[in-house]
Structure 1
Amino acid sequence: MGEEDNLKGEEAFKNSYVPKWRNQITIRSVVTSFILSIVFNFIVCKLNFSTGIIPSLNVAAGLLGFAVIKSYTALLNKCRLLKQPFTRQENTVIQTCIVASSGIAFSSGTGSYLLAMSPYISAEVGGGGDTPINTKVLSLGWMIGFLFAVSFVGLFSIMPLRKLMVLKYKLTYPSGTATAHLLNSLHTPKGAKLAKKQVAMLFKSFLGSFSFGFFQWFFNGGDGCGFSSFPTFGLQAFDQKFYFDFSCTYVGVGMICPYIINISLLLGSILSWGIMWPLIEQKKGDWYSAELSAKSLSGIQGYRVFGAIAMMLGDGLYHCISMLLQVAYNLKVQYSKKNEISSSVNPEGDDYQTSELDFDEARRVEYFLKDQIPNWVACTGYVVLATVSIVTVSHIFPPLKWYHVLVAYLIAPVLAFCNAYGCGLTDWSLASNYGKIAIIIFSSWVGLPNGGILAGLVSCGVMMSIVSTASDLMQDFKTGYLTLASPRSMFLSQVIGTAMGCIMSPLIFWFFYKAYTLGDPLGSYPAPYAQVYRGIALLGAKGFSSLPKHCLTLAIILFCTSVLINIIHDLLIRYETKYKIHRYIPNPMALAIPFYLGGYFAIDMCIGSLILFIWEKKNKQKSKDFAPALASGLICGDSLWSVPAAILSLAGAQSPICMKFLSASVNVKVDKFLSGK
């Protein structure tokens, strides 16, 4: 083991070359980011259209970026053509660019508010909101224009506060910090050796997952055919959506998500599809018309969708209020400390007292302050881009007037700061929760006859884009601070990644949109959040009259339950320390998701958790080193199989075999019918 292996922190990189900010963004880094961004956009889009559960992909992005560039530089080095060595700063730029691009696939709303505008989802939801003024025919042109108009504003909203957040308040930003530690580790000799093994594991699981997806395709020759319709626990359980659908994607997601999230999903499935919905279905003809289709929001589907909405709104509202109070309290504490002692750093200027800091922190502060981004650039950028966005958005969506968008942009920086600050404390981004609240406010403001549903959905997009990109940028500044990457290169790579995402996300969405029926509850890609978000907009524009009988009572109970669970969880964290019971309190948002979809994906994710649990029991260190790589490979392989599968679907190619399961009695009838008896 070399001497450098034993060094920790910046001591290991004391003699390493730190390139200037212009040299941190190279042609090879941009090309690598572009290629990997396509991969990650496909992954996020597929997850959006399947269940809407998207794990952190930062580790996979950093690891794959390292693997690609390291292979490229090793080849050039053998040919003696290598001019610039591969540094952790360049690796940080690649990871930032990829995550920024794939982040647009989430904040663009292609699986939620944007898809919810379509006439198809409008017809599925119904409720009187399927009028032309409340829908928008989807097309690539206006989607790309809309994303370019709203996605860059958030980058400028809280950029002047970067020194305050990172240096003065020393917010941890757990994901950004973990990513930085990964990148720092990869670029030490010991880390590079481990990285090779991790990359090998990732590619093995990728090939296995991709091959298994290809194998499954041969048995999908019809509706309800194939491994994805395997009645693992019997046909009756299958009818209530309890089965294992052999999805490598969600087995991998389950290995990344915390245990309590997966258990919460399974518990939510049992409570809803195992108990609540069967009981409500017995009231058919009394609580709702027996003639309604299974997809109608005036029937059983209404209880499913609005039940999920109630729990999500309860969880979101609680966390928003809790986060605002937490931010206010922490700011008060910071202000009190400032009056008592002088801080070792002064974020209001460039005269930083680094003599009292340890070597690591002094070095990081030095490089973080080296390439300043003037505050006037951020303020001017926000005003100019917000003005362009106000004109563009109100032109694309007439129901949302210019003054509506202006109000959103006046409120957004405050919410962006709260979200970025809260994310630094807890690693929990509430962008989608702020978006849901915006839907209710603006849809009720505009009103149903004036296009309130469409206005609410658009306002959600505006709010989510600002709040989400602001917290993502601050995470990246924290990563850059810990890897000595320049703030300018971080900001520019975020801009490049955002631009990539604004083009890639709609194109990949369009690919899926043409190949499959997105938003069909019974189809391959139910896109659950599309109906949920439109349901929230309908609720805001029309009020409670849109709910079926006793649905409001159920919604209130579930809303209060969600808030109560959060209160109990937070009280246990604060006052109970011995047994750590709070770890076993279910997550309300995770409880709510299966209300609409069922339990099949929760079973997939629990199997992922079981694999990880057994692995940890056998060899904890090995599972810690290789589980993220294995999970990332499973997700990448299965998600990328959707590309050739969609191409085959567009070309009209049909799977040669239909593997279907029937009960014994039905099978006898089929045999008699086929034999002509």
Structure 2
Amino acid sequence: MSISGFFRRLHRRTRSESRPPLDGSQADFTVRAVLLGLLIGCLLCFTNLYFGLQTGWISMMSLQSALIGFLLSRLLRKPMSPQENVVLQTTAVATGTMPLAAGFVGILPALSLLDEARDGVPPLHLSWLGAVGWSCAIAFFGVFLSPPLRKQVIIEEQLAFPSGTATGQLISVLHNMPPPDTLRHRPVYNALATDEDDGNAAEPLTPTPTPRETDALRIPDDPEVEVVVEEKEGWSALTWSFAASGVMTLAAYFFPVVFTIPLFGTYLASNWLWWFTPSLSYIGQGIIMGFPTTLSMNLGMLVGWGILSPLSKYSGWAPGPVGDMTSGARGWILWVSLAIMCSDSLVSLVPVVAEILHKKVYLRLTGVRPAGADSKESKEVESDDRLVPTAWVLWGLAGSIVLGTVLVWAVFGDEGIKPWATLVGFIMGGLLSVLGVRALGETDLNPVSGLGKISQLFFAWIQPGNIVANIIAGGVAEAGAQQAGDLMQDLKTGHLIRASPRAQFYGQLIGSCLSIVVTTTAYTLYQRAYEIPGPSFPAPTAYVWLGLARLLRDGDLPEKSGAFMLGFALLFGAIAALKTHATRSAHPYAKWVPSGVAFAIGFLNTPSFSLARLIGGVVEHVYYRRHGRGGITLVIVASGFVLGEGVVSVVSLVLRTFGVGVASCIGCGHGLCGGCPAA
């Protein structure tokens, strides 16, 4: 039986209950919703930190949070309302995305790579307390930005926010609600795919239900059925996928060759880094990303590791070992990757900036008023007692900026970054957040990688020569844009399901507070057990941050890399323009135009990461072609795969901390198995 059938029959268990209303009359902010959200968010936090340090790729996981929260709520005596489910997934997302928002997968590893001889400052390794201070400095700015941005882009302009819309649709189906009106004539995109910085729209998750199709999703008053058995089937799908991924992870810890199979021969594995990692979690991530995104990533892998890496090595441009990030081919192709990401992100921002200039500047200067501008009627559907008061926003923004400036100064000192420069970083973060949120609302892509690079470029001008200030200021600006974008997707979901924005605001604050401690503690344990960046956790985006900071200071590029950077930047600038036009025009081929950011990630990661994700993408494509997009079996299985490895990796971390090593290094002759003495 399909999982959609499972949910239809599961809902019969509560058919005597009235259908949940869409008028916001439910008690949205409840203890159980917050606690379940924190529990799921902590699992996502461990998972995102683990994979972020490995590959630079994390997932917002809002749809999975809503789904898992719904399943957990079935264990409670009183079923959870859809509005509570919104608060649950909002809290989970705020908790789970802190590894990226606070820079634990990029900024902090980059600071640890500093070289005193080259950069003028020694490597910076923050203590646990220092990392907590840094996290507190940037954790709340984006939260207080979200209420005014919500009013503009969700209420007034009614932007699509496809991922938030998809999550709202899922919640409406799970809770046996009619679909929100705003879904009726708009395609819904895959809400699951996000990369190291950006959310990428993939192919549609499930088409918008027509009234007839919606009726088919509602539960008729059939005779009693074996609902308990069907509920066990749903838990079974999640449990076996979680367990299988966890067992695979432990097996790879004790027998490292499990995740380092020299599929193409020992020579290619040891000399050119071509091996295969059969991680169920990577396959699950590929399912979540979707086939078009994983295809773009693998195209990048083939170009970067199959063409440019050998070319740079044999031409003498990168004479060191292939995997060396300084003198090897991996460090050489990193620059091409950086050019692609910046070009793709910046070009995708052009229509957003143009629209802002047209609406906010040109029309006002010319006196032309857009249609509907004379209407004084507010489009807000929530009462004042359910909104976040303006005074809270103003005091919160001012307080978070002042507190953040003081904490950054306390952690890094005057030698790191001047307080005035941190203040400018927060101001830039607010401005860039507007661009990022609007791009996200229209295209499901938050180009924060490009926004962070804009901030770095700006600070190379106002505070030249200071690499630490360049990285920190870029991180401050990126954190605001990233967090505001993630929270805006949640607020779009809440708007569709009529959840209280104030309740979601509380959930965001609580989730961010807990995640500061959880993320910092987990990162500190990883630092004690592993070298970061290192073989097991290369933290590829750290090299992007540090590399750009050094380039802006010195202007030195590896031999011949400048020409390739320019060529690929122009190429992917044109491709990004084509993709942006196709997406905004809703052309069916838009999803097949390569994603520049995904293509660049194929350069950053070794082939083993991309190959496994391609398997997941192929599985996703074949499954939905055969079974259609109405069911969510694959979503549950993929979620179990991802969470299984992420959570069980904590067990591996504890084992390593207490000195428990590998059981056998058999098959690790290529010297690439993490944990083996030969590695």
Bin for the TM-score computed over the shorter chain: 0.7 to 0.9
Larger radius of gyration: 1
Whether 1:233 aligns to 2:264 is yes
Matches within 5 A, 1:63-142: 63-73=67-77, 86-118=80-112, 121-123=113-115, 128-129=118-119, 131-132=121-122, 135-142=123-130
Q: CA deviation at 1:658?
A: 1.8
Whether 1:312 aligns to 2:319 is no
Aligned to 2:56: 52
Q: CA deviation at 1:344?
A: 7.5
Whether 1:429 aligns to 2:475 is no
Name the aligned partner's letter for residue 138 of structure 2.
V
* Structure 2 residue matching 1:128: 3-state secondary structure: helix
Whether 1:263 aligns to 2:263 is no
- Kept in 2, the 8 Å contact 1:154–1:469? The answer is yes
* Structure 2 residue matching 1:658: 3-state secondary structure: coil
Distance between the aligned counterparts of 2:569 and 2:22, measured in 1?
A: 57
- Kept in 1, the 8 Å contact 2:282–2:616? The answer is yes
Aligned to 1:200: 236
Q: 1:343 to 1:158 in 2, by over 3 A?
A: farther
Unpaired runs of at least 5, structure 2: 1-7, 13-17, 178-216, 220-226, 671-679
Question: Which deviates the most, 198-207 or 654-663?
Answer: 654-663
- Kept in 2, the 8 Å contact 1:218–1:657? The answer is yes
Q: 1:482 to 1:345 in 2, by over 3 A?
A: farther
- Kept in 1, the 8 Å contact 2:60–2:93? The answer is no
Whether 1:556 aligns to 2:566 is yes
Question: Which deviates the most, 652-661 or 603-612?
Answer: 652-661
Within the candidate set 475, 480, 504, 1:461 is matched to 475
* Structure 2 residue matching 1:275: 3-state secondary structure: helix
Name the aligned partner's letter for residue 139 of structure 2.
S
Aligned to 2:426: 409
Q: Would you say how many aligned residue pairs link Structure 1 and Structure 2?
A: 607
- Kept in 2, the 8 Å contact 1:168–1:346? The answer is no
- Kept in 2, the 8 Å contact 1:261–1:587? The answer is yes
- Normalised by the length of structure 1, the TM-score is 0.82
Question: Which deviates the most, 482-491 or 385-394?
Answer: 385-394
Q: CA deviation at 1:420?
A: 1.7
Aligned to 1:586: 594
Q: 1:566 to 1:634 in 2, by over 3 A?
A: same
Aligned to 2:619: 611
Name the aligned partner's letter for residue 112 of structure 1.
G
Q: CA deviation at 1:621?
A: 4.5
Q: CA deviation at 1:291?
A: 6.7
Within the candidate set 377, 390, 393, 1:375 is matched to 390
Within the candidate set 411, 429, 435, 1:396 is matched to 411
Aligned to 1:355: none
Distance between the aligned counterparts of 1:301 and 1:72, measured in 2?
A: 51
Distance between the aligned counterparts of 2:565 and 2:167, measured in 1?
A: 39
Q: CA deviation at 1:535?
A: 0.7
Whether 1:147 aligns to 2:135 is yes
- Kept in 2, the 8 Å contact 1:108–1:505? The answer is no
Cα offsets for 1:4-39 (capped at 9, x unmatched):
99xxxxx9434999334xxx3222223222222221
Q: 1:130 to 1:518 in 2, by over 3 A?
A: farther
Name the aligned partner's letter for residue 599 of structure 1.
P
Distance between the aligned counterparts of 2:117 and 2:572, measured in 1?
A: 26
Aligned to 2:649: 642
Name the aligned partner's letter for residue 308 of structure 1.
S
Name the aligned partner's letter for residue 307 of structure 1.
V
Distance between the aligned counterparts of 2:584 and 2:479, measured in 1?
A: 33
Q: CA deviation at 1:240?
A: 2.9
Matches within 5 A, 1:348-363: none
- Kept in 1, the 8 Å contact 2:54–2:539? The answer is yes
- Kept in 2, the 8 Å contact 1:127–1:538? The answer is no
Name the aligned partner's letter for residue 119 of structure 2.
G
Within the candidate set 173, 177, 180, 1:185 is matched to 173
- Kept in 1, the 8 Å contact 2:274–2:607? The answer is yes
Q: CA deviation at 1:368?
A: 5.7
Unpaired runs of at least 5, structure 1: 6-10, 75-84, 221-225, 353-364, 664-677
Distance between the aligned counterparts of 1:548 and 1:100, measured in 2?
A: 39
Within the candidate set 537, 547, 551, 1:539 is matched to 551
Distance between the aligned counterparts of 2:577 and 2:428, measured in 1?
A: 27
Distance between the aligned counterparts of 1:524 and 1:46, measured in 2?
A: 10
Distance between the aligned counterparts of 2:583 and 2:43, measured in 1?
A: 39
Q: CA deviation at 1:550?
A: 1.5
Distance between the aligned counterparts of 2:447 and 2:492, measured in 1?
A: 19
Q: CA deviation at 1:538?
A: 1.0
Matches within 5 A, 1:450-489: 452-489=466-503
Q: CA deviation at 1:572?
A: 5.2
* Structure 2 residue matching 1:71: 3-state secondary structure: coil
Seq. identity, % = 25
Aligned to 1:527: 539
Q: CA deviation at 1:234?
A: 2.7
Matches within 5 A, 1:12-27: 12-14=19-21, 18-20=25-27, 24-27=28-31
Distance between the aligned counterparts of 2:76 and 2:474, measured in 1?
A: 42
Q: 1:165 to 1:370 in 2, by over 3 A?
A: farther
- Kept in 1, the 8 Å contact 2:291–2:620? The answer is no
Greater helix proportion: 1
Aligned to 1:274: 306
- Kept in 2, the 8 Å contact 1:265–1:599? The answer is no
- Normalised by the length of structure 2, the TM-score is 0.82
Distance between the aligned counterparts of 1:633 and 1:292, measured in 2?
A: 37
